[in-house]
Amino acid sequence: MRKNRTLSLSGCGLKRKLRISFYLVLIIPILIFVYIISVHFVPVYKWDFNLLILILIGFFIGLFGFLLIHDLIKRLIHLSSEAKTIALGNLDKEIIFTEEDELSELVEAINSLQFKIRQDLQQLNDYSRKSAEYNLKLQRQSLLLSALLQINSLISSGEDVEQVLRVALGKLSQVMNSSRSYLLIKDKDSDRFYIRLIDGLKMPDSLSIKLELKEKINQIFQRTIKEHSILVIDNKSGLDKGSIQEFSECFQIRNALFLPMYSRNQFLGFLGTGNDQDKFVYNDEDKELMELFAKNISVIIETAELLNQLDKLQIRDSLTGLYNERFIRWRLNEEVKRGMLYHRPCGFLLFKIERFKELYEQFGIRFTEDILRKVASLLKDSVRDIDYVGRFGDYTFAVILVEKNKRQSLEALEYICKKVEFAFKEEEPSKRITLMGTVSENPLDGISAEELIKKAEENLKDT
């Protein structure tokens, strides 16, 4: 079926419209020519000069109209082509017209709109870049918080310190997106350092636990401690190439960030991390994250040291769980000093289990150990939380009554003796236990812990 044709020019191409315009422009001289021929019936060869001039003028007028239309259409086609290029995404394209007319104003408006679009796209790109940086920072902060919570959870649960440190180094590598992390500890007997732990590098245990550093690297660390600075080795590092090369060979990383660790103003060592990326530069955020990890690992090391010291102190008796004699003597001395300063009394009770040696010879060690544990429990349940109960000898016990005078201490002594006697009342007569005790109090019986203890031991011996 054939489509209906219309007289509209909207569907015609620019060239066809240009031809039609040319034909329309030539209508006037043609009509004039036909009119002259029809009126005068003059043969062409008899045309006079004026008539030829008139025809030529009409022709050139039409030609001039064609050239004007052709120039306009050419500029419109150029403008359309440039606008299409811009629409395809070439926003750096700028349309240039030299003539000053309505088309030039349109071109100026298009260029202005294009410049505004470029500005908006630049702002959008900047916003996208900042959003990506913010999201990355938020992700790192979330990962850091999770890592610190896990580390603190391991510490509070009593996990082995070495295992906690390994987990901490692993989390450090994860947060810093590093290939390796190091824990360097200062040797107590010298100014040298040794590598205690490494994360991300398979090495024999003998090396990963203790690996001495080269002299030049050791000097770099010493200078960092002296200047209270952070050791940074990256694309903008100020170290000479020789030092960087030796550092890279020692730690097997191209970029590194090492922070000193302190505990109570005492230098512990270095916490380090690194990678092998090209043209890598550490920023301020990286340094802040490392500082947080360095503080936490310092706490872990300090906690381990305190636990070691606590183990060495051994303030508890292994059999009864009470304080031992050494702690009771130290605690009594502190309470006496406090009592003398604030004019408050302090009572000291000393007990011994009667016939203990006979019971040991008759019933054996297991029976007497059960007796010691039971008496210890009775003593602990008989005093306040602020008082101190300890095993003072093989079968003697001591109690420090904070801010109790002698009368109150004697009442406590009598109460404890009756309580123990009642607890063993159901036993066979040969297995019944009784306590013998005595009291001393500052400042009546002495102004020091030794004087109070000596007074109590003398009284107990005499009874």
Biggest distance spanned by C-alpha atoms of the chain? 173
SS3 230: coil
- CA gap 8, 18 in Å, rounded: 15
SS3 260: strand
pLDDT in tens, the chain (463 residues): 444 444 444 444 545 555 666 666 666 666 566 556 655 555 554 555 665 666 666 666 666 666 667 776 777 777 777 777 777 767 666 766 666 555 666 777 777 777 787 777 788 888 777 777 777 777 777 777 777 777 777 666 667 777 888 888 888 888 888 888 888 887 766 667 777 777 765 544 433 444 556 777 778 888 888 888 888 888 887 777 877 888 888 888 888 899 888 877 778 888 889 888 888 888 888 888 888 888 888 887 777 776 666 565 678 888 999 999 988 998 999 899 888 887 889 999 999 999 999 999 999 999 999 999 999 999 999 999 889 999 999 999 999 999 899 999 999 999 999 999 999 998 888 999 999 999 999 888 888 999 999 999 998 886 6
- CA gap 162, 184 in Å, rounded: 14
Assess contact for 101 and 79: CB atoms under 8 A. no
- Buried b / exposed e along 306-327 (16+ C-beta atoms within 10 A): eeeeeeeeeeebeebebbbeeb
Question: CA 311, 316, 318 angle in degrees (round to 5)?
Answer: 95
pTM of the model: 0.46
332 closest CA partner among 447, 444, 460: 447
* Omega before residue 29 within 30° of 0, cis: no
SS3 270: strand
Torsion (CA) 157, 161, 165, 167 in degrees, nearest 10: -40
90 closest CA partner among 63, 121, 60: 121
Q: Please, which residues bridge with residue 95 across strands?
A: none
Amino acid letter, 123? Q
